[in-house]
Amino acid sequence: MTNPVPMVEIWRGPFLESMHLGHAVVCGADGQIVDAWGDPSAVVLPRSSSKMLQALPLIESGAADAAGLTDAQLALACASHQGADIHSAPVTAWLKDLGLSDDDFCCGPQEPRDIDARDALIRAGKSVCRYHNNCSGKHSGFLTLTKHLGAGPDYVALDHPVQKAVKAAFEEVTKEDTPGYGIDGCSAPNFATTMHGMARAMAFFAAANPDGDRRQSAAARLHRAMATYPELVAGEGRACTDLMRAMDHKVAVKTGAEAYFIAIIPEKKLGVAVKIADGSTRGAECAIAAILIRLGVLNEAHPLAQKYVNGPIQNWDGLVTGRMKPAEGFI
């Protein structure tokens, strides 16, 4: 990634202490760049920001309807959740409906990020399970598609029908041949694309017609599910959930590891992709919020917007010692 630009500043008192540099692209429904910072041709792994792309074959294949999946389950298929009861309970029920168990997941066990869920496991002396993994909803979708296709159990293998379908959908919607992939934290392949390609894909989702062809209706259904159930996409106190609520469920946003972030804006038929070069999540959260404000879909005065674009930095005694804000000249 070359030529990132300053996006986020960290101030301590009167001193600029740190700065996060990155890339961002805003794309229209025609695939053209509306606005950009840094290098739109930078090739990046979108990580979990690509989950709605990975979920397209789940619907397009007919697997979602055959399994009777609800919009809440589709939101979980696009989620990076925190393992709270509202996440793990529906995932385990989903597995049961498939006639499967925790052992059928290819993602690893992960301690819940949700404090209450974590503490309950400790008090009960129970082990962390795979369904606690933040990607277990996505893997439930993969397993649903696997069963529908009658395919083998190693659904994260690159040559598995599920991942072949994911790659095909990814390339077709980004309108780019992927230059390669990395293995994600949940063991599934994660395909790379340019910043422009990812923003173009998000603009496709934003402009998708619910009554259109199979792909358009699938894309519309997924972003609608995400915006409707922001608490399932992430969880309480998380940026994805906060921002979708602050925008009255009209915009879908999704974080990805190593400081990726996307937004799907149906009202304006715009897609956004953001990447902070140093991998700082706080930088990506501030940058995406600032862009959403610039685009007129997030009210800057909303407390949840201020949390990310003018976030106070507190020390252990609760004293405000600094601020995080968009870099001068960025927005």
Residue 247 CA: distances (Å) to CA of 9, 97, 202, 292: 24, 34, 17, 9
Sign of CA dihedral 48, 52, 53, 57: positive
Helices 161-174 and 214-228: crossing angle in degrees, nearest 10, is: 90
Using CA atoms, how far apart are residues 53 and 273, in angstroms rounded to an integer? 14
Closest CA to 281 of 311, 252, 301, 251: 311
Other Cβ atoms less than 10 A from the Cβ of 267: the count is: 12
pLDDT tens per residue, range 302-318: 999 999 999 899 999 99
Closest CA to 326 of 33, 27, 37, 3: 37
For the whole model, what pTM was predicted? Answer: 0.97
Using CA atoms, how far apart are residues 136 and 312, in angstroms rounded to an integer? 33
Task: For residue 2, name the pLDDT band (cuts at 50, 70, 90).
Answer: confident
pLDDT tens per residue, range 249-298: 999 999 999 999 999 999 999 999 999 999 999 999 999 999 999 999 99
- Fold (CATH) for 24-298: Beta-lactamase (3.40.710)
